[in-house]
Amino acid sequence: MAEAKPKSDKYFYATGRRKTAIALVKLSFGGGELLINEKKSEITESLKKPLQVTNNLGKLDVIAKVTGGGKASQLSAIRLGISRALVKKDLDSRLSLKKSGLLTRDPREKERKKYGLKRARKAPQWSKR
């Protein structure tokens, strides 16, 4: 599939998730700015990777709305959202993103607390006598 033609009103949307963080990512043609929750941010090394793999660093603006989770899981969710949006923009980039491991959703989540235990697996102290 050929690359989309630059239009100012053309956006590519995608969702990324990690643990309890959910990121709604919107890519648009621009100068390479990053907005996270309507605040201008620097593009970190982990967020640069999908853009570098597809040769789009500095060509696309990234707008992300993130809820839930901590800082690390939010960044991972944004990275997955960027990768998925890049696949929507150009289907040919899917193979290179897949090889780099950027399209894999990390399934690890917090295990729920079970009854009779203090946490998910920690049992109360047991005494023999």
CATH, residue 88: 3.30.230.10
DSSP letter at 59 equals T
Q: Checking DSSP bridges between strand 11-18 and strand 21-29, what pairing results, if any?
A: antiparallel
Q: Is residue 49 part of a domain?
A: yes
Dihedral angle sign, alpha carbons of residues 58, 56, 103, 89: positive
**Tens place of pLDDT per residue across the chain (129 aa):** 455 555 556 899 999 999 999 999 999 999 889 999 999 988 889 999 999 999 999 999 999 999 999 999 999 999 999 999 999 999 999 999 999 999 999 999 999 999 999 999 999 999 988
- Let me know if residue 77 belongs to a domain: yes
- What is the reported pLDDT for 9? 63
The per-residue pLDDT for 4 is 52
d(CA 60, CA 51) in angstroms, rounded, equals 8
Residue 2 lies in a domain: no
Position 36 in a domain: yes
Tokens at 85, concatenated: 């949006």
Per the structure, the complete domain to which residue 35 belongs is given by: 11-99
Tell if the pTM clears 0.75, that is, is over it.
yes
Amino acid at 87: V
Strand ranges (E), the chain: 11-18, 21-29, 34-36, 39-41, 60-67
Please count the structural domains in the chain: 1
Q: Is residue 78 part of a domain?
A: yes
